[in-house]
Amino acid sequence: MSAQDSPKWKTGWRWCKFSLVGAAGIVVQLGTLALLTSSGVHYLLATALAVEAAVLHNFVWHQNFTWNDREGAILGRLARFHATNGAISILGNLALMRLLAGGFGMSPVPANLLSIAVCSLANFLAADRVVFLARLEEAANGIPVSMERGTTREIPRA
Say if 63 falls within a structural domain. Answer: yes
User: Is 98 within a domain?
Assistant: yes
Question: Closest by alpha carbon to 29, among 60, 63, 62, 52?
Answer: 52
Q: Is residue 158 part of a domain?
A: no
156 domain-assigned: no
Per-residue confidence (pLDDT) for residue 151, from 0 to 100: 42
Query: Does residue 144 lie in a domain region?
Result: yes
Q: Which pLDDT does position 143 carry in this prediction?
A: 47
Which pLDDT does position 116 carry in this prediction?
A: 87
The pLDDT score that the predictor gives to residue 140 is 53
Residue 70 confidence (pLDDT): 87
> What's the pLDDT tens digit per position in 10-43?
889 999 999 999 999 999 999 999 999 999 999 9
**126 lies in a domain?**
yes
Angle formed by the axes of helices 87-97 and 108-126, nearest 10°: 150
pLDDT in tens, 72-84: 889 999 999 999 9
User: Into how many domains does the chain fold?
Assistant: 1
For the chain, strand residue ranges (E) read 145-146, 152-153
